[in-house]
Amino acid sequence: MKSDLKPNVVGIDIGGTNTVFGIVDQKGNVLASNSIKTQAYKELDDYMNALCDGIAQLVKDNCGMDKIQGIGVGAPNANFYSGNIEYAANLPWKGIVPFAKMMSEKLGVPVALTNDANAAAIGEMTYGAARGVKDFIMITLGTGVGSGVVANGQLIYGHDGFAGELGHVIVRRENGRPCGCGNKGCLETYTSATGVARTAREFLEKRANEDSLLRKIPADQITSKDVFDAAKAGDQIAKDIFAFTGQILGEALADFIKFSSPKIIVLFGGLAKSGDLLMVPLKKAMEENLMPIFRNKVNVVFSEMKDADAAVLGASALGWDAK
Amino acid sequence: MKSDLKPNVVGIDIGGTNTVFGIVDQKGNVLASNSIKTQAYKELDDYMNALCDGIAQLVKDNCGMDKIQGIGVGAPNANFYSGNIEYAANLPWKGIVPFAKMMSEKLGVPVALTNDANAAAIGEMTYGAARGVKDFIMITLGTGVGSGVVANGQLIYGHDGFAGELGHVIVRRENGRPCGCGNKGCLETYTSATGVARTAREFLEKRANEDSLLRKIPADQITSKDVFDAAKAGDQIAKDIFAFTGQILGEALADFIKFSSPKIIVLFGGLAKSGDLLMVPLKKAMEENLMPIFRNKVNVVFSEMKDADAAVLGASALGWDAK
């Protein structure tokens, strides 16, 4: 298929809880995978040793390191240009971590890294819903909201590697919700899984006289999954929470379209399992906020990638070009 | 300098009032220029004949058509991919005009076109403040607000050629000003020259008991230039109008930075002559609305190009690659 390349790559997805890694072939099959607990290693060196040992063993058991073209890593606050992970709030090691350099020295294979949303975009472009699409936007709806923007067939990294922080575009300037980034009214505070839970607490308080399945759960323990289940069971407040979430996301997507005029927008992550509960109000708000030249042209789709594999696959795709 | 190219190109800037065209050499010197009145020709064929005759004459008098590499055109609603001008509200010819095809058939030279803000971005990248910069955003502050986004050294056209409509990003979702595009609260309704005049009328009405130099002018005739002159003379309401305009633009630029993380943002057009009156509140609001990773990194600058030449120069730069 690509005869000048070695047959496989390794993809690594570094999350706050788990670090998952796998061997991927040129067709996008995950041949083997394993994981370690990210938080089990307070010292960076211990983590790096454990991760590299795990990869070396997995590769040895399957194809041998001489069959590995490169390693691609998706991690929060990872910088494609520098190969560093910089000030990641949810990882145990502080400051600037020269991740790519450390790992490639240990394993003798080139390593490239990028943030998790960019990795998802590359995965989607290589194996998913955006195959062959030169202009698209990837939005990850998880604990936070991340994004990867592809234009002219290339991921936009920006001058410093930090482009695509659309989760922190400000969508409510008045009385916006406080965000972990220090600003108020960021998209992420409304349309992440935690944003949906926040909306649930707000709606339940505001509509105190109205019954809801969600009242059976202690308010501070409500998750977006609970809201989804309640909405599916016909709960009006839960349905309104999705309508509100979809509207805010749709308004934001309309503005993103005015920036890069993508052919498709791919939604990925926990909330992307909400189906029409999210998609119907989202599309309505998006179209209403577009100028005529953009209307009814942009496809919003849910990711086609299987969750379990997606992060590793996305990261691995970066390994083909690692230098 | 570029030895495989012919020595000159022609640049054309099509505005609602004038169509200016000029011959430009490889160093960005405008060797000769002329113009026709855009509105004097109600029929497209008459306009095209007059424009092509004017260009042919100018080229004949200066270098000869065999020295022209190509023609670049900047026009409202021009589509780079199709070579068409589509539904331009301020031009006399309606519907879809196959401009590039018509002109190249008449003159025997390749013609490329793009919208006026993209042309300005290409000019800035080739001859202006963005020389050598691979990631920047051009914002034109004229009658409307236009934009051109450059990432990875390439202009972003989007899947359909309509990327970069940042003037229509919605900056006020509640009680936003009605915009010509059909939406409410678009950036253009606040930070264009006409937006500033609108703000002036609003402020004068709201602060009816406060004296202002602007009260000497009939409210419906106030221009952004009047507001500038009054602010320079120390008028408080006029200064507040610029503070308001700068704040809204700064907030919007912060969101744009989260998209493509540009190294610089170039402001161009009438309002870009406002100097610190606009720039000081703009930078303050921009930095306040950025996350730490972006703070104090992005330069906002006024265009270095001379107004009279800028539009023609920008458009002409497109001519080098016309096919």
Predicted TM-score (pTM) of the model is: 0.92
For residue B1, is it within any domain? no
Q: In what order do the strands lie in the sheet with B30-37?
A: B30-37, B18-25, B8-14, B68-74, B111-114
**Rounded average pLDDT over B276-305:** 95
pLDDT at B251 over 80: yes
Check whether residue A50 and residue A110 sit in a common domain: yes
Q: Please tell me if residue B162 touches chain A, with a CB cutoff of 8 Å.
A: yes
Amino acid at B47: Y
Contacts of A135 in chain B (CB under 8 A): 158-159, 163
For residue A25, is it within any domain? yes
For residue A1, is it within any domain? no
For residue B48, is it within any domain? yes
Check whether residue A148 and residue A28 sit in a common domain: no
> CA–CA separation, A113 vs A101, rounded Å?
10
For residue A237, what are the domain limits? Answer: 132-303
Rg for chain B (alpha carbons), in Å?
20
Q: Please tell me if residue A285 touches chain B, with a CB cutoff of 8 Å.
A: no
A228 pLDDT band (50/70/90 cuts)? very high
In which element (H, E) is residue A96 found?
strand A96-97
pLDDT at B147 over 60: yes
Check whether residue A114 and residue A172 sit in a common domain: no
Check whether residue A29 and residue A105 sit in a common domain: yes
> CA–CA separation, A306 vs B19, rounded Å?
54
Check whether residue A32 and residue A68 sit in a common domain: yes
Q: Which of B139, B152, B295 to mutate to test the interface with A (most CBs of A within 10 A)?
A: B152
Q: What's the ipTM?
A: 0.91
Q: Which residues on neighbouring strands pair with residue A145, listed in sequence order?
A: A141
Tens of pLDDT, residues A116-156: 899 999 989 988 899 999 999 999 998 889 999 999 999 99
Check whether residue A237 and residue A287 sit in a common domain: yes
**Rounded average pLDDT over A66-74:** 96
pLDDT at A2 over 80: no
**Rounded average pLDDT over A1-28:** 88
Q: Which tops the pLDDT comparison, B1 or B148?
A: B148
Tens of pLDDT, residues B254-285: 999 999 999 999 999 888 889 999 999 999 99
**What is the per-residue pLDDT for B307?**
67
Check whether residue A153 and residue A100 sit in a common domain: no
Q: What are the tokens at B276?
A: 């610190």
For residue B206, is it within any domain? yes
For residue A105, is it within any domain? yes
Q: Which residues of B240-258 are buried (b: 16+ CB within 10 A; e: fewer)?
A: bbbbbbbbbbbbbbbbbbb
Check whether residue A268 and residue A153 sit in a common domain: yes
B291 vs A165, A172, A289: nearest CB? A165
pLDDT at B24 over 90: yes
> Residue B298: which CATH number?
3.30.420.40
- Number of domain units in chain A: 2
Torsion of CA A122, A284, B157, B12, to 10 degrees: -170
Check whether residue B101 and residue B148 sit in a common domain: no
**What is the per-residue pLDDT for B311?**
81
For residue A207, is it within any domain? yes
B260 vs A133, A163, A170: nearest CB? A163
Check whether residue B114 and residue B17 sit in a common domain: yes
